[in-house]
Amino acid sequence: MKETLSEINELRAVGLIGQWAIGRAMGATFYLEPISTFDLDIFVIFEGSPLILTLTPIYNFLTARGHAADGDAILVHGWPVQFLPAESALLREAVEDAKEIEFEGVPARVMRAEHLMAIALQTGRGKDFARLMTFVEADIVDRSKLVDLLARYGLEAAWKRFKQNYLNPS
């Protein structure tokens, strides 16, 4: 993954993408036990209108460097990478507030655990609820930050349902 992250940093350096952060399942692995995931979801703040967003310049840059499209992703040094716009306020904040890390000497950014939880709750798929359970069981989040995020993004009712369905089943 080191080489993959280097390529993503190069995309930022040449101005093809704005600020970015690792999210979803791969993002969670920086906080939790490793889980099975096959792709690297990179959330990006794209400047300009999201209505005219095209990934063509990113794909052209990476294919010129020897990488190939793979379905809805591009295979970069063996990792299928999806570039996803941070189009909602929650996603944008998650990218802007991402934790800066080094992965084998390569700078990278990963969404904070509280943001990963709020996004999973908002997305609401079965695998998202499973990831939420893992975060809850690991007890590694700052609860006050999570409560604040849930309140600011109108997710309190969804959190209450999640807790009733998964944490306090009758």
What is the model's pLDDT at position 50?
53
- Give domain limits for the chain: 2-111, 115-167
164 and 157 in contact (C-beta within 8 Å)? no
Q: Which two tokens stand for residue 36?
A: 């099975």
Rg (C-alpha) for the chain, rounded Å, is 17
> Residue-wise over 98-136: b if at least 16 C-beta within 10 A, else e?
bbeeeeeebebbbbbbbbbbbbbbbeeeeebbebbebbe
Distance CA 104, CA 154 (A): 37
Tens digits of pLDDT across the chain (170 residues): 899 999 999 999 999 999 999 999 999 999 997 677 778 999 999 876 554 568 899 999 999 999 999 988 999 999 999 999 999 999 999 999 999 999 999 999 999 999 999 999 999 999 999 999 999 999 999 999 999 999 999 999 999 999 999 887 65
Domain 2-111 has CATH 3.30.460: yes
